[in-house]
């Protein structure tokens, strides 16, 4: 029987001050995992079958000045890399792509509707919008500030502007292993865009639920780093009988 790829696992490489970490709810002071060298992590994930890598420059997210050398070093490992953390101008997006990123995630700057339309036209599939949500509103600037905007409203703006996909993170659940926020994801999926889910994933069953919900993929970090399941086991869910 033929199989098709309909769900993608994105192992997370979150980098703070040059080292891989996992943060609880995105709080800089709440480090729950120390993962060492980011290039070594990328190499290990590639060996375990990662089709994509998910790189977040936490220093860039907090400062608005992403580290392009970090992008280049991770991209050199092999699998395509989607990168986020501080990409708030056309130039920084272009520079990340030139450094080897396959896709750049835009968060804070996506609230500017003119900028949203501009990146959709200029970058197409090479850009996606990160919708980070806490308590029913979008969070920005490294999750340090709430915007007066519902995540589903931002998703509809993205669809209208021509954005090709969104990454949706429940910041209250990120790094907590408390399970994905299914109601949040359902409201964003209603906008009609492909959705990559993030935040709270703790078990292989969570990934199965997200796939059946209609998500295009999922970012998994703490569950892999804390041995809840292996990346190879997660990658095994990427195909199913058609």
Distance from C-alpha of 173 to C-alpha of 171, rounded to nearest angstrom:
5
SS (HEC) of the chain: CCEEECCEEEEEEEEECCEEEEEHHHCCCCEEEEEECHHHHHHHHHHCCCCCEEEEEHHHHHHCCCCHHHHHHHHCCCCCEEEECCCCCHHHHHHHHHCCCCEEEECHHHHCHHHHHHHHHHHHHHEEEEEEEECCEEEECCCCEECCCCHHHHHHHHHHHCCCCEEEEECCCCCCCCCCCHHHHHHHHCCCCCEEEECCCCCHHHHHHHHHHCCCEEEECHHHHCCCCCHHHHHCCCEEEC
Query: Is 91 a residue of the active site?
Result: no
Q: Which of 14, 67, 174, 206 is catalytic?
A: 14
Nearest to 35 by CA among 7, 16, 63, 54: 16
Query: Is 132 a residue of the active site?
Result: yes
Q: Return the structure tokens found at 84.
A: 């986020």
Distance from C-alpha of 208 to C-alpha of 94, rounded to nearest angstrom:
35
Q: Which of 57, 59, 67, 132 is catalytic?
A: 132
Q: Return the structure tokens found at 215.
A: 């998500």
List residues with catalytic annotation. 14, 132
């Amino acid at each position: 029987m033929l199989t098709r790829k309909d769900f993608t696992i994105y192992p997370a490489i979150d980098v703070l001050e040059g080292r891989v970490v996992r943060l609880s709810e995105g709080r800089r002071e709440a480090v729950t995992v120390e993962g060492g060298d980011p290039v070594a992590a990328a190499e290990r994930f590639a060996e375990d079958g990662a089709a994509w890598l998910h790189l977040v420059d936490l220093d860039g997210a907090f400062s608005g000045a992403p580290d392009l050398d970090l992008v280049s070093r991770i991209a050199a490992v092999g699998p395509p890399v989607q990168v986020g953390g501080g990409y708030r101008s056309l130039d920084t997006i272009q520079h990340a792509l030139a450094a080897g990123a396959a896709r750049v995630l835009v968060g804070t700057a996506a609230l500017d509707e003119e900028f949203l339309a501009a990146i959709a036209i200029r970058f197409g599939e090479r850009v996606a919008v990160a919708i980070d949500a806490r308590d029913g509103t979008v969070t920005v600037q490294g999750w340090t500030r709430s915007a007066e905007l519902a995540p589903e409203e931002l998703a509809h703006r993205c669809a209208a502007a021509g954005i090709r996909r969104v990454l949706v993170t429940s910041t209250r659940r990120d790094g907590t292993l408390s399970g994905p926020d299914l109601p949040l994801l359902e409201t964003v999926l209603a906008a009609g865009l492909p959705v990559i889910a993030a935040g709270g994933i703790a078990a292989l069953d969570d990934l199965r639920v997200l796939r059946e919900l209609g998500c295009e993929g999922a970012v998994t970090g703490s569950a892999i780093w804390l041995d809840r399941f292996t990346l190879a086991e997660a990658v095994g869910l990427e195909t199913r009988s058609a």
